[in-house]
């Protein structure tokens, strides 16, 4: 009995020691942040961080919920022949003015020769163990990647999700980062926007046709007065 108690105590101490060693690693994993960009921040903050202007924002849908995006190419250090950053481009997606997804396209030169395993190992060093994924069929279109992009691995917690992908067309690696809750809200907003646009399309087409006819008539009257044979 005494030996059993001692063995149990020994195992408990080992388990506690392992937990203490792992805890700092777990605390260090911040899935809401990528290279200083935090999910949930406003458009104005991202514009300031990327040194871009409101005019650089692209409006995807205005109603019923504003959906916008911003593309940013990290600057290259002057005088350096190769890219100074392994990231070629970042696409920021906003729903109702809040950043909910970041789509990263890695520079082909910086990742040349790297295997999926190399990429997983590198990202896991910062975000912890990965879950290896099977290629997804019929996945949604992601800017810079086709709908048949190969899903390689994922990292996640209860609120956020990271997915490493590779384009079958360009062979480029990419990383998709999003807030689970906000991404779900954005997908519903996109569906509502598409439905609304389809409902309004007949009237919108009729209005456009009417305007074109009015513009043509106005031009005809103007030329009628100015024309000299």
**pLDDT, tens digit (0-9, with 9 covering 90-100), for 108-145:** 999 999 999 999 999 999 999 999 987 654 444 444 45
> What's the predicted TM-score (pTM) here?
0.72
Residue 5 or residue 184, greater confidence: 184
Tokens encoding 21: 């060693």
Burial track 1-28 (b if 16+ CB lie within 10 A, e otherwise): eeeeeeeeeeeeeeeeeeeeeeeeeeee
Of 7-11, 146-150, 177-181, 222-226, least confident by mean pLDDT is 7-11
The confidence score (pLDDT) of residue 57 equals 96
pLDDT for position 150? 86
Mean residue pLDDT of the chain comes to: 81
Contact (CB, 8 A) for 109 and 82 = yes
Cα–Cα distance for residue pair 174/110, rounded to 1 Å:
12
Length of the chain: 229
Give CA separation, 134 vs 58, 139, 149, 163, 177, in Å. 33, 12, 11, 12, 18
Query: For residue 198, what pLDDT is reported?
Result: 81
Say what the pLDDT of residue 156 is: 93
Q: Which of 42-51, 86-95, 203-212 has the lowest mean pLDDT?
A: 203-212
DSSP state of 145: B
- The whole-number pLDDT of residue 210 equals 84
pLDDT at 14 over 90: no
**Residue range 5-24: mean pLDDT, rounded:** 46
* Residue 1 pLDDT level (bands cut at 50, 70, 90): low
**What's the mean pLDDT in 160-173?**
91
Question: pLDDT, tens digit, for every residue of 150-160?
Answer: 899 999 999 99
């Amino acid at each position: 009995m005494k030996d059993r108690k001692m063995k149990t105590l020994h195992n408990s101490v080992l388990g506690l020691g392992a937990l203490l060693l792992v805890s700092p690693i777990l605390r260090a994993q911040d899935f809401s942040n990528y290279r200083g960009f935090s999910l949930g921040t406003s458009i104005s903050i991202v514009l300031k961080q990327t040194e871009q202007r409101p005019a650089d924002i692209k409006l995807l849908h205005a109603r019923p919920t504003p959906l916008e995006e911003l593309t940013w190419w990290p600057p290259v250090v002057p005088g350096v022949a190769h890219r100074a950053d392994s990231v070629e481009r970042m696409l920021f997606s906003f729903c109702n003015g809040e950043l909910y997804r970041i789509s990263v396209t890695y520079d082909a030169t910086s990742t040349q020769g790297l295997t999926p395993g190399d990429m997983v190992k590198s990202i896991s060093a910062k975000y912890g163990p990965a879950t290896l994924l099977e290629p997804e069929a019929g996945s949604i279109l992601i800017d810079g990647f086709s709908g048949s992009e190969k899903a390689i691995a994922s990292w996640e917690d209860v609120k956020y999700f990271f997915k490493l992908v590779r384009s079958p067309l360009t062979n480029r690696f990419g990383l998709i980062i999003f807030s689970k809750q906000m991404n779900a809200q954005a997908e519903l907003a996109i569906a509502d926007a598409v439905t609304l646009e389809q409902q309004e399309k007949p009237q919108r087409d009729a209005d456009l046709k009417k305007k074109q006819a009015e513009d043509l008539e106005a031009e005809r009257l103007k030329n009628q007065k100015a024309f000299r044979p």
